[in-house]
Structures are given as C-alpha cells and as structure tokens.
Amino acid sequence: MTLHDPSAGLDAPFALARYRDGERIRLGVVAGGRIRSLGADELGAADLNAFLAAPDWDRIGALVAADSSAPDQEWMPLAEVALTAPVEPRQVLQTGANYRQHVIELVAAGLTQKTDRTPEEAREFAARMMDERKANGEPYFFIGLPACVVGDDVPLTLPGYSEVHDWELELAVVIGREAFRVSREEALNHVAGYTIVNDVTTRDLVFRQDMKEIGTDWYRAKNAPGFLPTGPFLVPSPFADGSDLHVRLELNGDIMQDASTQDLLFDIPALISGASQTMPLLPGDLLLTGSPAGNGQHWKRFLRDGDVMTGTIQGLGTQRVRCIAESEVEA
C-alpha cells in the first residue's frame, strides 16, 4: 500500500510506472490519479525497453483518452498499488561534479583551508575554474550497477560498515533510441523520458586509503544494495524540459537540496553525446545528470536509522525513501 502521494508534482497528462501485482511486477500507465496495466498489445512492443527503442507516446495517449471517455474496470486508484522502479536499465551512467554552484562550494571550501585567499576570493577563483571547465572541458562519467536500481517501495538499508551514507537527488535521463557517438545536436532525439534517482553514496569509501594514487572507488562507495532508489514514474520527454527543472530533497521534513537543473555545467545534450562516444547507450538505460548542492557532506549530517528522504523533481512526481539500519534488518 502506498503511504504517500507519489503523484504530487506530477504534471504530465500521463506517465509510465511499474507496480507490484502479487509476485509479479507489471508495467502500467498513470493518469489522473489512476493506473492501469499495459500489455504488449497496448504497447505495440514486447516489453518496456522494446517500446522505449521507438516510443510511440501518441499510442499511449490515445489509450488514456479512450479510457477517460469510457471508463472501465481496468483502472485502479494509484493509492492502492505499490509502485516500484519504473525502468529496467541494462546500463547506469553517472555524472560527477556537474552542478556549478555545488562544485564552487566544494572547491572554495578546500581553497580557504589551504591558501591565504579569503572566502570571497576563493569562490571567485573556483567560479572561474568552473566557467573554464564548462567552456573547454568534458563531462566526468562513471558507471553504476543496474542491480542497485530499486523503487521507493524498498527501504534503504544502511550498511553497517560505515556511518557516513549520503544522499544525492538527481534528474535521470531515460534513453530511448540507441545512442552511439551522437552529436549534441542529435542527442535529445535519443531521450525517451525522465525520472528521479537518489544516488546514495558512502563518503568514507569514495577515496582509497590503502593506495591513494588509485583515486576514487565508485564501486564500493555507490553500489550497495538499493543505493539507487528510482522513480516513481517515467515521464515522457514531450512532457518535461530537463534543462529547467526544480530539484528538491527533504530529510525528515527539512530542506537539504534545493536547486534547478539550469545550474548544470554540462547540459543533457552534452552528457548524452559525451557518454555515447565510448559505448552505445541502450533503450531504457539511465544517465544521471549529477547532484546539486546540499548533500550530507555539506550539512555534516548523514543518514541514520529511521530517516525519511522525500525527493521531488518538478513535473516528475515524488519519491519517499525510508532508511533502516542493517542491524535492524538482521534482527
């Protein structure tokens, strides 16, 4: 049973979702606070990823319109189903250091500790660095495990090997048509839609301590079970403009992250183009766009047993993730 309203903030006339039906997970279309299942006949494709390879949103819209004019027994109240992750990606690509203001704050904090610059001078220096990177640099990518993608119906288990698990609410692009070595001008033609992802990170595992020359260890820091809460909806690209969306995360009701995707250093076309130069992006894959400022590392406050994270991205709905300690799960 859904304990919150995932459709709060969902502005699209319809969206896709996946929900639990006993032991099965079904694909559905959401509209007007209701959901109904979508089979292969309604999709015109064998499964979700096959549909996303050539998404026919007009087909789904016509189905919703027909059902609205002649309601039947196939629709269920959204509040009566348990939603899970709306996508089944084969690849998850993540973007680092991609919000200008966030990176300026991090760089400036380091500079003020290590140089004679005032905080204002440090911020100005960091801002120039970021503007130079945006003009002449490239996006920074790393990969996550698709197995970590879960819905907010699954509590986030906080591994007992650390006490510094952090949140990173992010806009995620859902790839449609396969993208391989595409230009920035072509990139948006390969977007099927958008969803919400909380890219959970264990901060004390990000950098290797046994051999610092190796650098970052994203595998251990970001790939524990359930570390990519996703959804609740896949909002079709015609209904969302990823270049200007409000991103907001609350922890137990307190606002922690509050930003706009306008602050991205590298926009969505640049990210898709850059990521596709190495490996084809496949239908249904997730491309995370980076985290805005306001992580636990900034607040010096990390996730604890009983915490509730509520993440909303303008037009995409709301996810609510409950945290539990690993010791509680074992008990």
318 and 258 within one domain: yes
Number of Cα atoms under 13 Å in the Cβ half of residue 234: 29
186 and 176 within one domain: yes
| Cα three-residue angle 68-245-179, rounded to 5 degrees | 85
Which residue has tokens 């009701």? 253
- The pLDDT tens digits of the residues spanning 38-95 come to 999 999 999 999 999 999 999 999 999 987 665 666 899 999 999 999 999 999 999 9
> How many structural domains does the chain have?
3
SS3 (DSSP) at 222: helix
- Are 201 and 164 in contact by the 8 Å Cβ rule? The answer is no
Domain range holding 113? 99-138
133 and 150 within one domain: no
SS3 (DSSP) at 264: strand
- The pLDDT tens digits of the residues spanning 160-217 come to 999 999 999 999 999 999 999 999 999 999 999 999 999 999 999 988 878 877 888 8
Residue 194 DSSP symbol:
E
SS3 (DSSP) at 113: helix
Write the CB contacts of 135 (distance below 8 Å, at least 6 apart in sequence). Answer: none
What is the pLDDT at residue 2? 42
pTM of the model: 0.93
Q: What distance in Å separates the CA atoms of residue 266 and residue 2, rounded to the nearest whole number?
A: 36
Provide the percentage of residues in the chain whose pLDDT is more than 70: 93
262 and 156 within one domain: yes
Burial 225-250 (b: 16+ CB within 10 A, else e): ebbbbbbbbbbbbebbebeebebbbb
326 and 189 within one domain: yes
299 and 184 within one domain: yes
